[in-house]
Structure 1
Amino acid sequence: MLPAPRPNPAAKASSPLRYPSLLAAALSLLISACTQQQTQVPPEAALQQDTLPAPAVEKETAARAFPIDTFYTLLVAEVAGNREQYDVALANYFHQAERTQDAGVAARATRIARFLNARRAALRSAKLWAELEPEDPEAQLAATAELTLAGDLQTALVHAEKALELGGDAPLQSLAATAVSNRELTEQVKPDFLRLAEKYPDNGEVVLAYAMMLRAAEQYAQALTLVRRVQEQHPDLLDAPLLETHLLVDQDRRKEALQLLEKLVAIHPRESRLRLQYARLLIREDLALAQQQFAELVKQNPNDGNLILSLALIRYETDHIDEAKPLLERLLTLEQHQSAAHFYLAGIAEKEKDVPAAVAHYRKVEPGNDYVEAITRGTELLAATGQNEENGKWFAELRRRHPQQQEHFYLMEAELLRKNEHYQQALELVDQALEDHSDNGRLIYTQALLNDKLGNGAAFEQGMRKLLDRDPDNATILNALGYKLIEDESRHDEALQLISKALELRPDDPAIIDSMGWIQYRLGNHSEAVKYLQDALEKLPDHEIAAHLGEVLWVQGNREKAMAVWQQGLKNNPQSKIIPAAMKRLQINESLEQHASDS
């Protein structure tokens, strides 16, 4: 994990109108220009300057007269800005910056664009500003920041170096953090960072940026030397010890990193970056202490959703549900990480056996990391409680919201119905889905399997043949059809042919190996059957394979081993109906429990 960069110059300002206003200068210029043109300025325009906040710093600006239409456009922009109509202000300033080639207008356009996070406009106006005022370090910094965000690091470095030459600072750590996300890019710009570090050896920001490049190249020892040198030169620059802790972790020196962070946190208890790094490292070492650190972070930053969520998750994972719940509810109040909050509140409701509350929370999870899991768990809860109608409404809503994923949601709903043995309802749903998605292979396959469950053998085979016509080398379909045909003694040769082809295509698939063992058994080749079935069971300890192998062993007379195989199969899957069915078919009255006690 990269160290937290220093404040990003591209971050939003609280308001673009905090920057120096050009209106007063423009107004005086216009009065001069309009006097020459014998044009009267409207009184309301002359008074408009009083509505703008006083600038913190005013630069001396060389007077130049704007054309009348330019002045009025800028005046409209200022009024719009004071009314918080920043998009109008940006449009006017951006247009006039390119039209007038005026540095002040370009600067104003840049600041408004960055406040609005209008990246393309900010990039163009910042580049123009830097071009028009090459000796202004602020202009060079703005261009550096926007070019970094745009991914043009080579050009960004040119402006960063210019800012340094002018006596300003440069966000080189942010630049380095962007570079190290791409190994190829790192190699391209690493020599530039080295050159700057050699040129400015006493500039902590520059040297730390180069240390970050060394870290990306896994040159940890060299990076650590530079970082410690920066700490000696700039003891108040906390980026240096923070980067040192990352380098120590990179070298598996976690204990040293924790000791350093413990010391730093004691010295700088209000520095959230240090405490956060300490808390993160503690998660693997001491979860209780990590929880204490996150609690202190939340206390210091009560509205920071990231910290609140981290603390809530630790408490959730450690089963401190009563402490996690109010934190998650606070996220909803703050309108931060709402999907994650709903997801874990749903989990808490599940633990509390409150199905309606759990489902309600799961339904409020939006697309993202937890979305599919929320749908799966929520619909499973409804299905388990027999609320198929509610599930139907939910899935119908999902299909409306995500029309490109309709087939997926049809299949999810059908699978839930199948798992709960609502085969006819599932089949009707899939039939409905195929009306609009007739070529969807997964839907056709599911339809065939449901027909099989309902005893519609001909419909099952028809679906499988349709799929094989499209894809004759599909091992899954070959195996499914071949396995089904084993039930018909008159079609054993056909079943063997299909399964053999499937096994040739996927020789290590335990399901297909099981099918081959079963057809060999049905053909009377018991020794061959045992060989295949034992191989399949070793690859996949499945209760159906265990049922097959046990039956063959029993018929061979190897009854002790058969009982052991069945017993293990039931241990792996206590709910199995296949193993008891096999024993019943063989008229075995002896219970597995009795056999286990006798053994």
Structure 2
Amino acid sequence: MLALSPRWRAATRHALAAALLAAGVVHAQSPAPAAQAALPAAAAASAPDNSALDAPLFYQLLIGEIELRNGEAGTAYQVMLDAARRSRDEQLFKRAVEIALQARAGDQALSAAKAWRIAAPDSAEPLRYQVQLLMALNRVPEVAEPLRELLAQTPVVEQPGLISSLPRFFQRSTDRKQVVDLFEQVLAPYLEANGTRASARVALARAWLAAGDSGKALALARRAQVDDPSFPGPALLALELLPTQPEAQRIVESYLNQPKAEPAVRLAYVRVLSGAQRYADAARQLEIVTQAQPEQPGPWLTLGALQLELRQPQQAQASLERFISLRQAAAAAPAGAASGPALGPQSSAAADGPDDDDAQGSDAQGDLAQAWLLLAQAAEQRGDLKAADAWLARIDSPQRALEVQARRAMLVARQGRITEARAMIQAIPERSPDDARAKLLAESQMLREVKQWQAAHDVLAAAAARQPEDATLLYEQAMMAEKLNKPAEMEQLLRRVIKLKPDHAHAYNALGYALADRNQRLPEARDLIAKALALAPGDPFITDSLGWVEYRLGNREEALRLLRSAYNARPDPEIAAHLGEVLWAQGERDEALRLWRDAQQRDAGNEVLRETLARLKVNL
């Protein structure tokens, strides 16, 4: 017998260890002699748990893993699958599936899963693999049988969870109607069972939504909520339906009105409301979250940001300072100390080393920097520029250097030192190619804030000349052209933006609103704004524009309805100016005055509000 060289023996041992661990044959090291001596006599006397690994299987596994390491995935798969069939070991079947998947051989992976199922008919794992592989191969009709069996083998208490997870398996299907048919066929018994009725309806509703029928999805979500009002599934689905089915909001509100509503659902609702710029509604929901879980820092940060959007600087400062105190307390706590119940599901990855801790620390520092930036904005809104600069001085983050310096430049510009402010922005180092563009946008924004319309227009025009296909630069230039009373240039630029980005809702809205505000081409203005609202359903500023054009067209009742809806979603001073004018024209002057006073308290410098009051000769 030829002796193996030490190097070959080491390589063989390494490959063998990998093979045995991968196959699940070796689960732990044998106890050391000292540990063996310490074992109780009863345990030592018990019968040993012998491994099923014999010499032929040992070398078969070794050969399979060596073939895989040598790039022979096909041979490794065949060897491993043969070993699995001989031993009927589930870990070896799983390893064969993994080898096939690693080689992107879907059909072979499916064959291994089927063989695994035959060898272990009472095991649910091969069924799960079979279902997922069939879906990945887009063989939807074949999924029915293993999926039905998987559901039948799942314990009753676990069936709702499995049913709820099914739509994720089918996200990549190219034939969504086939998935609906599959769900209706397989889930039929579960649509009538008490424990699974609600989850089955939600799963089927998600299939209909993916197939493009939001009406059927909404109807099923309603029935699911009736079946189980405490189940969050219908509310989460309703959040996805809101853009096309506004009635879905009733499902969300009905769920959230329950005492035991999950905070994660409320936070998801906050994200939807914020995305639709319904900041007042989002802030109200966050206030409920912070009252229920005051020790959770994250919601306080979001609440502070929303309060700033609503021009509530005092409330924003209180929320942001609360966030900072909680975040700093958590950072000072001993490692591993609990910081309160989590609001949502945590990552499945455990903290395996310093990299995870460093990442968490980095996130915490990023959150603190964001809070300091927001506190600086709150101080600006109060007119306390010194406090704003003090908050900005706390931020030491290279990633936020441009943002911080731009805010500092804004503070300088507000003191009338425009040239110095521009130089501050222009001197910011450029860390990436995008930084040059970001600096130009920051400079134009700063000039816009201090009403240097022409200078802002010139900066944007020069930038757009270098990047003529940049829709953002063109849109901002159009806004400055409007401020300079150059309607022809504004329209030309906005139509160019629309050509470059046909889904640019704000370009349609800006053009339509400009026409309506000048009382020109009102039917065209209404069509443009309606197009914008179709692209961004529920946007309060676009709804405000539509209300304004309806007022210009003489449709005062419709204008009132739209403007009230916009103001309720976002009580912005500009929307208040429009709503107040329609109320004034309707003779409801007390309500108009109340709205205008509230808007003036929020932002006395708002141009639209000031122009409206001056034109109507109203002295508040």
Query: What range describes the TM-score normalised by the shorter chain of this pair?
Result: 0.3 to 0.5
> TM-score scaled to structure 1, two decimals?
0.47
Structure of larger gyration radius: 1
**Greater relative CO (CA pairs within 8 A, separation 6+):** 2
